[in-house]
Each structure stands twice: as structure tokens, then as C-alpha cells.
Structure 1
Amino acid sequence: MANLEHATQYPLRTNANYINDTELPLDMRFNEGHVVSIITYSVLMVISAVGNTTILVLILRRRRATRSRINTMLMHLAIADLLVTYLMMPLEIGWAVTVSWKAGDAACRIMAFFRVFGLYLSSFVLVCISIDRYFAVLRPLQLTDVDRRGKVMLTLAWTGSIFCSMPQLVVFHVESHPKFTWYEQCITYNFFPSDAHELTYSLFGMVMMYGFPLTVIIYTYSSILVEIYKRSRESVSDRIRRSSLGFLGRARIRTLKMTIIIVVVFFVCWTPYHIMSLWYWIDRPSAIEVDQRIQKGLFLFACTNSCMNPIVYGAFNIRSKKKDMTASQRVASCASKAHAGDVVCRVSWRRNLNGSNRQHPQVLAQSSLGPFTNFNMTNSSSNVQRITEKSTKDCLT
């Protein structure tokens, strides 16, 4: 999908080094707007490169220890953001420096393809994450082919991104300015035979990059929230389902919150730009009157999405590590006090081993508990519940 700045109207702008520079309109000359674009894209590129590379390395290290579908999908989301960072942002910087297109027709078509490929991939990976969370919460015990489903969804995300980006190779081309023939630009000008064809192409890009993901994500996450609300209101006497909900809340609510925030950030960043694009396609004369700084600013704001994902991921993981360290210290402290004869900690420890308040089953299973270990191992109902919880955990991760 084309940026408004490079839409079907011929951009009246060029490089300031030409000798007849004074005859050119302002947007055909290198001006303050280009300086702002260069600085902004450069800052976004550095932040996004550092953040997403760090997240990618952290996820790859975790994959060696334990495989998690959600981490795999977040890894693909980081890759999509890095494609935007290293392909689209440098292109925008170079384009702002030269103002006109200097790289020829082949490079114009190829770069137009990669200019949107990362954006499509980011949208489709978010769809994969939302569908995965949907099955994790609403169908937590359907373990059959759960990993295969994740791989199929990611494969479709990459394939769909390639398919949706292909029209860019045909639509974009190098066109000479009708008056200043020495000035060339990479645009869609003179390609579409009618406004209806142009609108169809533009709406296709908007629906696939924004409308379709929005519909799927709204449905999946609203279903998740409704299901959680229903379970929270079920009778307390329903022990098995109540335990399942409690385990979901303790073990996976952080991941659910993180993915929801990532989705919200995506649509907050991109919605203003798509609204402006829709306005441009429906009522072009009035949309053109909008200040060019606002139009460029909306696309720049949309590009900040590539910087926000690692910030969200990092914030949630830092908080999680702090909570895990605090909880582990509490468990270790109570364990030592229980061995020393502290009645309160001993009762609390027994309750944990019985499964009535198992906040950290992985810590309990790995701790050296002395005489209490035999009690845990011989409690058959607790072991059955642990097996059930482990099956649920395997599906949720």
C-alpha cells in the first residue's frame, strides 16, 4: 500500500541542487520537512534496531532452554519489525535526502515491494498471536497438533505477506515529471486506467494490512475476555474448572496482557494513518488541503510501532523477573523457617504441597524439602492435579 506522500498524484518536488531550483514548487525542493523526516527516521531506526535485535537474541537464547509457541511468534514479530527497520526506514531516509528517485526503475519496484512486506508481515503475525491465544484460553486441553497449527499459521503469514506485496512490483514505476522532464520519481502515477481501479488497489492494501487483522483480533480477544469473565463467575463448588481458571490466571495472564498491549499499540499507531488514507481516497480534493506536515507526521507516527514492541516485551519481562525473584526468595525463606520449626510457615508449606495454594509449582518441585518431600510424593490427588496442570501449561505456552 502506497504512502500518501508517494500516491498516484505526481509529487511536485525535486532536489535543491538543480540550477532552475527557484522555478520548482516547495515540495519539489529539499526543505525543512525533509530534514525533520531524516532526523526522525534515523532516531526511529536506531531505537528499533537496538530494541528488536535485543529481543530477538533473548528469544533465541530462551528457545535453547525451552520451546514456546508464543515466543516463536514474538520472534517472527521482531523479524518483521527488523525488516521495516533495515529496509523501509533507510529507503525513506535516502529518499528524503535525494528528494527525487535516483536508483532506476528496477530498484524502484523492488524497494516498493520490501517497503510494505515488513508491514504486512507484522500485521499477519499479530493475527497468528491472537488466534494462538484464542485456542490457548478457550481450548486449553486440545493438545493435538498444537505446534503444527502454530507453524502453519506462521507459514501462511509469510506467504500472505509476499502475495499482498507483489502488486507493488507492478504498480510502482519510475515516471518523469510532465513539465520538468529531468525530474524522476518512483510512484504509481499513470498506471491505473481509472479512479475505480486505483481505489480497488488502495482498499485491497488497507483491508489486508489493517481491516482483516482488526476483525480477527477483535473477535479473538473479545472471545477470550468473555470466556475469562464467564469462568470467573462460575460456582466455587466446581473445583476442576475453578482450578483451571486459577492456573490460567497465575501462569499465563502476563502473556495475555502483553499480547493485548502489543495489539493495542499496533492499532493506536496505525489507525490515524489509515483514517487519513481513507479520507484521501474518498474525497481527495479536501484531503489534499490537509497540512503536509500532518500527513507526513501520521506515517512517521505509524512507523513508531516498530519501536514499541520491544519496549512492551522488555517491560513485561523485567517486571516478571522481579516478581519471580521476590517469590523465589519468599519460598526459600519460608522453607528454611519451616525446617527450623516455624509453625506458620510449616502449615503454609503443607498447604502448598497439597495443591490448595500452589503459586509456584516449579519451585516446589525443585526445592529440597526434607521430610515434606515424601508427603508430596504420596499425595495421589495432588499428583493427578499436577499432571492436569502440566498438560494445560504445555498447551498455553
Structure 2
Amino acid sequence: MFLSLRSPLCVLSYIILGLLSVVTVCGNLLVIISVMYFKQLHTPTNSLILSLSVADLLVGVLVFPFSMAFTVTSCWYHEDLFCKIRGSFDVSLSTCSILNLCCISIDRYYAVCKPLIYRTKINDHVVVIMILVCWGISALIGIGVIIAGFNQGKCEGSCLLDALISTTMGCIFAFYIPVIIMLSIYLKIFLVAQKQARSIQNTKSGATVSKLERKATKTLAIVLGVFLLCWTPYFICMIFQPLLYLSTPVAVIETLNWFTLSNSMLNPFIYAFFYSWFRSAFRMIISGKIFQGDFANSKL
């Protein structure tokens, strides 16, 4: 049973979920401004991080409000159009996040495993194509799911559940297969990095570059790990639910869904914790220093 719009619990829910939305938007906005403003951060890897942050920012702007309304009031007052719009944004942006993470894993593979050809294989032109493909496929999937009948019929308390059951195959192609690919790539990177660490006999500068690449890879692997931690319970529930003919309570689905949405809030904190240059950039933006002069070429 969903909450009354005037109940204290309803108001508290809106406040808490609203704060999550604000933190998500502000955190990812810091990442976006940092990458766009500071020239030191103009790298192929950070361009992909920028794309991921834009997807996470849109989750905070577009998905959070719809999800808040659904969690607190259900779809009773919005009929099926409400759920269709929510489902479209949710599917599109989650797919975009996954595809961006796939591209980041490919970038890290070339940076660590094939450093000599990294700059020729992963350049600005290639990164732009990667980003366009990510967003293009995500938009098509979001539109296609609606056209294929996502959330058709009257929208009742179980509309989200019915939609999730109808998209089981979508879970496999949009989540499980990309995740298996990413895990395989990071396993390969880990093995190569371990081999490099044992046999490195290069110059000091070469060793430093290799160490920086491995640190970047480790941080981005943590981003992937947090993503899996947030998303896997949701997709496990979705994949087994129709197979076992079980009807999962909407409250459980909503809890898992909010766990997945929280991933969009966590990534900026990971960057700030592991990257000193992101911390420096965040401090300069929050303090307003970048508005007091031209600091685009600052050493972070």
C-alpha cells in the first residue's frame, strides 16, 4: 500500500529521495565541469568519464523525480504514460552507463596491455565515435522498448513488475552480456598489469607512466565494481522472477531500483577519493576560484 500524499512518512520520503537527487546532480556536475574546464583533464579516458557523468546527471534530473513519484504514490494518478516515460528514461540511461563502462574498459585495455599503440587506437576521433555509439544505441533501446509494448495496458500497482518481466531478454543483452565482456577485459588487464609489475625493467619515467596507468585502471575497476554491487541484485531478481513464476512485491522492486539509482550518486565520490587532480578541481570549483580568473591551464 502506497503512502498518502499528506502523510509525514510521504513528506520524509520526498525529502530523503530529493536529497539523493540533489547530491547526484551536484556531484556529477562537478565531474563534468572539471573535465570540460581544466585542460589537464582533456584525455580520452576522462572524455569517457565525462560521458558517464552526463548519463548519471540525467538520472538525477530525469529518473529520480519520476521514481520518487512512483515510489510514494504509485502510478494510480498518471495512468500508463507515466510508467512508459519513466521506463524509457530508466532503460536508456542505465544502458548508456553500461555501454560507457564497456568503452572505458576497452580504453584501459589498450592503455595497460598495448601501451605502444594506445594513442593511435584510442584518440579523440575514436572516443567521439564510442560516445556517439553509446548514446545512439541507448536512445534506440529506450524508444524500441516503448514501441515493443513496454508497460502496455492500464498502469496499476504492478505495472513496473509486468514491464520488468516482459524485458527479461533485455536484461540479458543490456546487462549480463556487457558485464561478462567487461569482467573478461579487466581480468586480462589485471593479469598483464601483474606481469608488468614483476618484470618492469624500464626507465624511471617509463615505470612512473606504467604505475599511473595501473592506478587509473584500478580506480576505474572500482567504479565497475560499485556499479555491479548496485545493479546485480536488481537484475538477478529480474532474471529469476519470470522463470520461477514468482510475484515479487512492488516494495522490494522499488528498493532494488533505488539501490541501482544510487550508483549514479557514488561515482563522483570515487573519483574524488582516488584521484588527487579531481579533488583539486572540485575544491577550485566549489570555492568559486575558477570564476576569479583563468585557471584552465592550472596544474592539478
- TM-score, L = length of structure 1: 0.61
Q: CA deviation at 1:100?
A: 2.9
Rate the CA distance shift 1:257–1:209 in 2: closer, same or farther, 3 A.
same
For 1:244 and 1:121, the matched residues in 2 are separated by: 35
Extract unaligned runs of 5+ from structure 2: 281-300
Rate the CA distance shift 1:36–1:278 in 2: closer, same or farther, 3 A.
farther
Q: What's the counterpart of residue 150 of structure 1?
A: 127
For 1:293 and 1:254, the matched residues in 2 are separated by: 40
Find 2:27's aligned residue among 26, 36, 51: 51
CA deviations over 1:194-231 (Å, ceiling 9, x no partner): xxxx86x5233212332122112111111111111122
Q: What's the counterpart of residue 216 of structure 1?
A: 181
Extract unaligned runs of 5+ from structure 1: 1-12, 18-29, 178-183, 192-197, 323-397
Matches within 5 A, 1:169-318: 169-170=146-147, 171-173=149-151, 175-176=153-154, 187=159, 201-234=166-199, 239=202, 244-249=206-211, 251-285=212-246, 287-288=247-248, 293-318=251-276
Q: What's the counterpart of residue 100 of structure 1?
A: 75
Rate the CA distance shift 1:136–1:278 in 2: closer, same or farther, 3 A.
same
Find 1:126's aligned residue among 101, 105, 110: 101
CA RMSD of aligned residues (A): 3.3
CA deviations over 1:16-42 (Å, ceiling 9, x no partner): 69xxxxxxxxxxxx9898667534422
Q: CA deviation at 1:239?
A: 4.3
Rate the CA distance shift 1:311–1:96 in 2: closer, same or farther, 3 A.
same
For 1:15 and 1:66, the matched residues in 2 are separated by: 45
Rate the CA distance shift 1:67–1:268 in 2: closer, same or farther, 3 A.
same
Task: Please tell me the residue identity of whatever aligns with 2:29.
Answer: T
Rate the CA distance shift 1:300–1:189 in 2: closer, same or farther, 3 A.
closer
For 1:35 and 1:284, the matched residues in 2 are separated by: 35
Contact 1:49–1:82 (Cα < 8 Å) also in 2:
yes
Rate the CA distance shift 1:93–1:55 in 2: closer, same or farther, 3 A.
same
Contact 1:51–1:310 (Cα < 8 Å) also in 2:
yes
Q: What's the counterpart of residue 42 of structure 1?
A: 18
For 1:301 and 1:309, the matched residues in 2 are separated by: 14
Alignment length (residue pairs)? 278
For 1:83 and 1:49, the matched residues in 2 are separated by: 8
CA deviations over 1:275-295 (Å, ceiling 9, x no partner): 22222121133x53xx65444
- TM-score, L = length of structure 2: 0.79
Give the fraction of aligned pairs with identical amino acids, expressed as a percent.
Answer: 25
